[in-house]
Amino acid sequence: MKMNLVYKALADATRRDILNLLKNKDLTAGEIADHFRISKPSISHHLNLLKQADLVHAEKRGQYIYYSINTTVLQDVLTWLLSLQGKKGEKE
């Protein structure tokens, strides 16, 4: 798993907003796009980056593609962030 792709994916506000949307329920690409002012191809591109980072899963159902969030890759980010917090002056 290329963690760099995960951090890169999280660096964009639009992509973070997409994840926030998917937190509540799975959505089609079109439903996701409706929440933003940017074009559908741009959203499609963002979805592709999220997919490459394995932060979302895409499943085609008929003519729709449903996107769902995948939080398992976030575990490594979480672990790293926590490791930064337990820092130096850690005497008793």
Report the interface residues with a copy of itself, using CB under 8 A: 4, 7-8, 10-13, 16, 19-20, 22-26, 69, 71, 74, 77-78, 80-85, 87-88
Please report how close the Cβ of residue 50 comes to a copy of itself at its closest, in angstroms: 12
Does 46 bind DNA (CB under 7 A)? Our answer is: yes
Does 40 bind DNA (CB under 7 A)? Our answer is: yes
Strand, coil or helix: what is 40? helix
Q: Which listed range, 9-17, 18-26, 74-82, 83-91, lies at the site for DNA (CB under 7 A)?
A: 9-17
By the 10 Å C-beta count (0-12 exposed, 13-18 middle, 19+ buried), 17 is classed as middle
d(CA 60, CA 38): 23
